[in-house]
């Protein structure tokens, strides 16, 4: 499977290593730090790419940027993404009525957003997922299963607030 990761910090690299362990083709991009994305890709055995190209060619596009950089990542990805978008942003719920994943789905005008990989990922983990599109959740489950992970379907995207840590 083709996996694009937007982000290049330690969490993004851990996700990249996990995805590579499942035999996936992985690319890294970081709209804020292109050189750091190149280094992350080299360390994980992946390629670096620009976010817009990732969005057009990936099966799954994982956003693993700090919450304050989500708008920049969404702009860099563009609106033509065919990929399933995985909200893997580490986040605190705070005082919001919507989850970060619901806000992301609204920004992208997409039902193909799945909330997953909130904690540092590793093979053998049980990963909770939320999303409104069963096909998208199935694709995320397939990608994670190839990496030795199990998934627990926690229901629609509205339930993603349950996965986010309280402030």
- Grouped pLDDT means (10 residues each) for the chain, 167 residues: 94 93 95 92 94 88 87 82 81 61 79 81 84 94 94 91 66
Contacts of the segment 13-17: beta carbons below 8 A, 24+ positions apart: 13/40, 13/43, 13/44, 14/120, 14/121, 14/122, 15/62, 15/64, 15/88, 15/117, 15/121, 16/40, 16/41, 16/44, 16/46, 17/44
Q: For the domain 2-162, what is the CATH code?
A: 3.40.50.720
Residue 126 CA to residue 1 CA, distance in Å, equals 20
Q: Where are the domains of the chain?
A: 2-162
According to the model, what pLDDT value does residue 92 have? Answer: 55
According to the model, what pLDDT value does residue 97 have? Answer: 62
- pTM, two decimal places: 0.89
């Amino acid at each position: 499977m083709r996996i694009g990761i937007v982000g290049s910090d330690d969490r993004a690299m851990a996700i990249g290593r996990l995805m590579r362990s499942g035999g996936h083709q992985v690319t890294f991009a970081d709209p804020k730090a292109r050189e750091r994305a190149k280094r992350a890709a080299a360390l994980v055995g992946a390629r670096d790419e620009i976010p817009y190209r990732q969005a057009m060619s990936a099966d799954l596009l994982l956003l693993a940027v700090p919450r304050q950089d989500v708008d920049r990542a969404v702009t860099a990805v563009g609106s033509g993404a065919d990929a399933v978008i995985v909200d893997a942003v580490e986040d605190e719920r705070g005082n919001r009525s919507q989850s970060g994943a619901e806000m992301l789905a609204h920004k992208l005008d997409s039902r193909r957003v799945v909330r997953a990989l909130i904690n540092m990922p590793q093979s053998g983990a049980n990963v909770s997922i939320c999303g409104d599109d069963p096909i998208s959740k199935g694709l995320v489950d397939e990608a994670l299963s190839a990496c030795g992970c199990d998934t627990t379907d926690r229901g629609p995207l509205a339930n993603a607030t349950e996965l986010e840590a309280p402030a």
